[in-house]
Structure 1
């Protein structure tokens, strides 16, 4: 069944990633839900007949069977619940929610209404990450007891002065934004355990970082002197109920020359290290590598080269196909959501539930 989509939020992610991919994969944007009166103009080519609604309502969701929610983080849970209560399936952009309590609300609503719930998962659809996860699944490095994950940019603050950097709407900064992608991989490698404790240092912006906007986004609305109300850098040590530790480091801006992503897994029989760049930055690692180390011997593991959009396309293609066939593995989605939300709860314990 073709998906009639309510696209909630029309920012850079919606315009550049999700709207073109929905079109490519045969879905039709029926409704654009965004308070910005210019939202429909931004998507006029891909969704010329879409209705524009300033807020989510029964009318806004009419004739839709899927809501793709890319709105400010603070709205995610409320809007996803509303959509599922109206009988829609939901795809939630990251971070889906920042508390385990909200995750449980979403799961219970999905069970009660029958609305399928999926959390965007581009990172785990990358070819280099799939090669890493395949190596873990085949027991190449034995039992994993520690994972070190980092995504640190040189200049990459998302639209300073917008909702991304406003505490009331974003709720958190780089730890939730970049960290969600990293935790998506690390927690999957561990079988999606719950995180029960965290020691964190969320570093506030120093006042000059408004000028360090993510240039590849081509956003409007940011300005050099914007105040970042959420953390620019974050450092966390997470303890999982499975016993493994996860060390997480993120930065929207830093002193390093490249935007880099590293994932290192320490196991009983060996170690794996991925060195690459997630996302769309052009200031990236030019030769990504995945290296297996066993007893001091190093081996490069092969993986296909992806363009930046390929993981998002692979995720959406699979998700739309599963929704069309009714084959979505809800329990796996629920397990993933609980695990990721538990990490957010441990990292940001003072956010409202």
Structure 2
């Protein structure tokens, strides 16, 4: 393979633009094409990031022999079908979360990637966060002792992504805040625990703001249905019991009345020797004069903080990604 990975981005919405920005700052990659069904979004993205080719149909893009890898930034219901087609076209694939809208479809993606011997990575951004990487090092040193319980959460005060967009319609999104926010924190939490084997789950979802047209924020570039459909959850809570005996409590909310001074998102790990919280990374433990709190600067981290840069390096160097597809399948 050449020194530079020839990449294409499928989808030029808000996240697709982020992919293009990352590729434009990666010295080991080049954005050679994009696929976007909106002619206006395609023109704007191509001009902004100097992408030489654009296609209205992603299938035509996948037929191009001079493209080594694609990054997929599409509505959730398209993740599975497009990823499978890309892998069958012998492209390496970076796929936005969630991997798919069903476990069966996610398993098929992993199977095809193995059969085609292509690199597949889900873009779980929090694994690359420097505070997550610092926390991972602490966990691997065993400083917490036995970790018996964890809590992960992402609760927005008012953060529904444009009511009526694909985010708020189940047929396109598969789910609401759980698929949008919860998957990020659950993945980072299980990654820190190095434990993805779940024995049981109990949970509950609610839709208390979106159906009333409340809690909206202006994010994204996708079209909005004038009927402003909202048939997904805007709050979800779950308790996971892992096969190891540990428990994980998870919360996700697009909108809720809460103290604005609290963390919007984070992870808390309880151990027999110390506790650890994110974000930022803080360690809580006993000291000679009582309790002490240590906040980590996390200046040096083992992996790039940019998920796209990491993916590019893994493909070019033949390394296993920080986000193995098998772990994403379990999330």
| TM-score (norm: length of structure 1) | 0.82
Residue 215 of structure 2 corresponds to residue 212 of structure 1: yes
Structure 2 counterpart of 1:45: 48
Partner of 1:344: none
Q: What is the CA distance between 1:178 and its match in structure 2?
A: 0.6
The count of corresponding residues between Structure 1 and Structure 2 is 321
Corresponding residue of 2:272: 268
1:126 aligns with 2:117: no
Inter-CA distance 141–207: structure 2 relative to 1 (3 Å threshold) = closer
Q: In 2, Cα distance between the equivalents of 1:48 and 1:30?
A: 6
1:1-353 map, 5 Å: 1=2, 2-15=4-17, 17-26=18-27, 27-43=29-45, 44-57=47-60, 61-207=64-210, 210-215=213-218, 217=219, 219=221, 221-222=223-224, 226-258=228-260, 260-274=264-278, 276=279, 288=280, 290-294=282-286, 297-304=291-298, 313-329=305-321, 333-340=324-331
Displacement of 1:250 after TM fit? 0.8
SS at match of 2:324: helix
Structure 1 residue 257, shift from structure 2 partner: 4.6
Can you list the C-alpha shifts for 1:101-159, whole angstroms capped at 9, x where unaligned? 33321222111111110111210111222222221111111121211111111111112
- Structure 1 gaps of 5+ residues are 277-287, 341-353
Q: CA RMSD in A?
A: 2.7
C-alpha separation in 1, matches of 2:220 and 2:86: 30
Alignment check: 8 A CA contact 1:6 1:61 kept: no
The worse-fitting range, judged by mean Cα deviation, of 153-162 and 294-303 is 294-303
Structure 2 stretches lacking a partner, 5+ long:
none
CA distance in 2, matches of 1:35, 1:21: 22
1: CA distance, partners of 2:151 / 2:145: 16
Whole-Å separation in 1 of the counterparts to 2:208 and 2:304: 30
Distance 1:48 1:104 in 2: 33
* TM-score (norm. length: structure 2): 0.87
